[in-house]
Amino acid sequence: MNYINFNLSIIAIVQALERSFISNDWITIVIVACVALVVLVKVAYEARFIDFTELLVNEKYLLKANKEIKFQDPFNIILFAAQLLSVSLFIYIAFVQFGVSVTLAPVLLYIRIALVYVVFVALKFFIERMMGVLFDGEHILSSYQFQKLSYRSFFALILLPVNALFIYGLQPSLLLIQIIIGVFVIFNLISLINTLRRYENLIYYNLFYFILYLCALEIAPYFILYKVFSKSVN
């Protein structure tokens, strides 16, 4: 009798794993695509990628790149594509964990999150560029934008194994999700502090415009997103 019960338990576990694998099939594709993009950029730009992975240790990568900032560079585009896939997947996991009620199928929800992320980042980027031209601070904003892009891409690389762990192993808790969001905020603060340190005198003489920029484009958008997310949870 115990043998039969044991066999039935094994069958039930296998069936559950099969259902889990099928339901996570599209997530597997997303994770594999992320890994493929990272491998591609590492193979194509090995020396530059090594400098990039040392971003938190030294500023070698930023100092080299700041000499000639090219947002449309293939290296940056590939890393942004990986960032898009990885960050969108984490947001999807957070949506599920926080119990946000949606009527869309999981894969459609992920696609919508990715589209909103692209639109949000692109719109914010172009508004910042316009403000830089308008207030004659294009070089400062370009440097700051590039640092943000670099730190977010680095953050996305860290998220990649975390996402895989959440999907296939560890059950994500609300505390873990909040800690990861906190790390994202810290990465943004690091890029801001680096810019403040590098252009301290210039920012000091244009303090009003800098504060205006922070309130309008660095605080307000995320506050609005937080309020929208809070309403969705409630």
Question: What confidence tens digit (pLDDT) does each residue in 93-133 have?
Answer: 988 887 776 777 889 999 999 999 999 999 988 888 887 77
Q: What is the pLDDT of residue 92?
A: 92
CA angle 130, 135, 140 (to 5 degrees): 80
Those residues with Cβ within 8 angstroms of residue 127's Cβ, 6 or more apart along the chain or in another chain: 217
pTM as predicted: 0.80
Contact 30, 89 (CB under 8 A): yes
Question: What confidence tens digit (pLDDT) does each residue in 141-198 have?
Answer: 788 888 888 889 999 999 999 999 988 887 888 888 888 888 888 888 887 787 778 7
Q: What is the pLDDT of residue 206?
A: 74
User: Where on the phi/psi map is residue 68: left (φ > 0), alpha (ψ -120 to 50), or beta?
Assistant: beta
Those residues with Cβ within 8 angstroms of residue 229's Cβ, 6 or more apart along the chain or in another chain: 98, 100
Contact 153, 38 (CB under 8 A): no
